[in-house]
């Protein structure tokens, strides 16, 4: 767990120790809030975010748990916070968010073998506070500020295609893939803060599955 409001501190919980506590590990090089994270080659990657002041970041750091060190890799081409970051097939993909002033539809990818970020096809819509997942070997950009729409990125053809829309606008939701479906949870607007929707690609449709007990905004989720 890394960063937060005006924080660069990082904590770790070893799940192999049933009664273990969270403990502090090496801090990131920069304070980061509303950053995005993913796993790249068994290392934790944290990209972008805000330093808690007026600065939006393009810098990216990798944490190596074996040696307990954070290392800066090449910066993104665009400063981003409230964006999405996913890892697929040994590469990082980041898309959407905000720079200092503007909503973003741009996307870029990092290949560690080349050591640099390169621009890819932009999304069809600007999305801030979106969710991003990899599903069926494609990347999904889900919702965002004022949006119900969802887009799917084909890595082979470098194209974005709109798919079925959510039932609610979702800003600050979280998403994961489990049992062959995408689940998106919470976020701002209407009843979205409690509801959970699931996407089935075989019918290209989102359905309300259930509600959480507590409204959720800016939460995180994983599938176990």
Query: How do residues 10-41 score in pLDDT, each as one tens digit?
Result: 999 888 887 788 999 999 999 999 999 999 99
Query: Taking residues 112-133, what's their average pLDDT?
Result: 97
Query: Taking residues 113-132, what's their average pLDDT?
Result: 97
Query: Taking residues 141-165, what's their average pLDDT?
Result: 97
The answer to whether residue 149 scores a pLDDT higher than 70 is yes
Q: Which of 73, 65, 123 is closest to 94 using CA atoms?
A: 123
Query: How do residues 45-64 score in pLDDT, each as one tens digit?
Result: 999 999 988 899 999 999 99
Query: How do residues 164-221 score in pLDDT, each as one tens digit?
Result: 999 999 999 999 999 999 999 999 876 678 899 999 999 999 999 998 888 888 888 8
Two tokens, residue 166: 């959510």
Give the residue ranges of DSSP H helices in the chain. none
What's the pLDDT score for residue 14?
A: 87
Two tokens, residue 105: 């539809």
Distance CA 168, CA 207 (A): 10
What's the pLDDT score for residue 190?
A: 63
Range 58-90 burial, b when 16+ CB lie within 10 A, else e = bbbbbbeeeeeebeebebbebbbbbbbbbbbee
pTM: 0.94
User: If you average pLDDT over every residue of the chain, what do you get?
Assistant: 94
Answer yes or no: are the C-beta atoms of 124 and 165 closer than 8 Å.
Answer: no
């Amino acid at each position: 767990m890394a960063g937060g409001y005006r924080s660069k501190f990082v904590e770790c919980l070893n799940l192999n120790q049933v009664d273990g506590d969270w403990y502090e590990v090496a801090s990131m090089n920069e304070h980061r809030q509303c950053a995005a994270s993913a796993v790249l080659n068994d290392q934790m990657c944290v990209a972008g975010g805000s330093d808690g002041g007026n600065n939006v970041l393009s810098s990216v750091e990798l944490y190596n748990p074996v040696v307990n060190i954070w290392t800066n890799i090449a910066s993104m081409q665009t400063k981003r916070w409230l964006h999405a970051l996913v890892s697929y097939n040994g590469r990082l993909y980041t898309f959407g968010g905000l720079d200092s002033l503007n909503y973003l539809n741009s996307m870029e990818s990092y290949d560690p073998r080349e050591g640099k970020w390169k621009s890819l096809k932009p999304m069809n819509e600007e999305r801030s506070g979106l969710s991003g997942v990899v599903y069926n070997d494609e990347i999904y950009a889900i919702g965002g500020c004022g949006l119900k729409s969802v887009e799917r990125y084909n890595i082979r053809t470098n194209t974005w295609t709109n798919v079925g829309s959510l039932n609610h606008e979702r800003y600050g939701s979280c998403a994961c893939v489990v049992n062959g479906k995408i689940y998106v949870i919470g976020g701002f607007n209407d009843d979205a803060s409690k509801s959970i929707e699931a996407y089935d690609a075989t019918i290209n449709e989102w359905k309300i599955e259930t509600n959480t007990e507590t409204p959720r905004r800016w939460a995180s989720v994983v599938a176990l």
